[in-house]
Amino acid sequence: MPKGLFHALSRLTRIPVRIFVRPNRRINAAMWDTQYALGLWNYLDGMSDGTVPLSLIESWAPRPTILDLGCGTSANLPLTPGRYRHYHGVDISRKAIAQARALDRPDTSFEVADIRHFRSTDRYDAILLREVIYYLSETESVALLRRLPELLTPRGRIVVQVYDVSQTEDFVRLIRSCGLPLVAELPTRLGDGPAGALFVLAAPSQATNPSPGELTGEAARS
């Protein structure tokens, strides 16, 4: 299936899927496994905006520990060896996680889990939600965002990436008003897709003064 057609169909079915499929963990996992088994998301593997990963995160946390929730295969996330301490990817799809592990990148680990209920005793310098938030209901999204600060280190940040701002206005509003300090909002674009955005959030207890790189996006472009 052409990527444009698949993306259009995904957008059209997002609301009914979110209402009728996502609440059931087994059906939800089976749906994602089927999509990855059919290779419907393969077109994303070679597409990276080059913005989210290390250069941006390093503006507040050199050699960070990274948690990627809803990581998929993680193939489109550049991870330069030696620039991060550890990366942990979480996804509900066993097929996606199997593909992610097959990349055999250093200092990485992966876990099959529903991000809505993910818990960990580890703490991370960056928590990524890349193209994930709008697959949850608004109630689930707010609950997740408000829970994530407990998984952050004292210097940690949450990075939420939205592929198409014009199509996800409700979730953009939700991210901005979730109760977490908005440290930075940066433009981004995935491949030749529409204009998106990155939202960098801090824990309520953290000092919210952004670094120059966070505020201007200079680190993201380096």
Q: What is the pLDDT of residue 9?
A: 47
Q: Is residue 73 part of a domain?
A: yes
Q: Is residue 75 part of a domain?
A: yes
CATH number for position 184: 3.40.50.150
Q: Is residue 27 part of a domain?
A: no
Distance CA 106, CA 115 (A): 23
Q: Is residue 38 part of a domain?
A: no
Q: Is residue 8 part of a domain?
A: no
- The sign of the torsion formed by the CA atoms of 220, 158, 36, 8 equals negative
Q: Is residue 60 part of a domain?
A: yes
- Angle among Cα 129, 113, 14 to the nearest 5 degrees reads 55
Q: What is the pLDDT of residue 188?
A: 81
**Sheet with 195-201, edge to edge strand ranges:** 108-112, 86-91, 65-69, 124-130, 152-162, 195-201, 182-189
Distance CA 213, CA 216 (A): 6
Enclosing domain of residue 176: 46-221
Q: What is the pLDDT of residue 164?
A: 80
How do the pLDDT tens digits run along the chain, 222 residues long?
444 543 554 554 455 555 544 555 666 677 767 776 766 666 666 655 555 678 899 999 999 999 999 999 998 888 889 999 999 999 999 999 999 999 999 999 999 999 999 999 999 999 999 988 888 888 989 999 999 999 999 999 999 988 888 778 888 899 999 999 999 998 887 666 678 889 999 999 875 555 545 444 444 443
Q: Is residue 103 part of a domain?
A: yes
The domain total for the chain is 1
Q: What is the pLDDT of residue 132?
A: 87
Q: Is residue 71 part of a domain?
A: yes
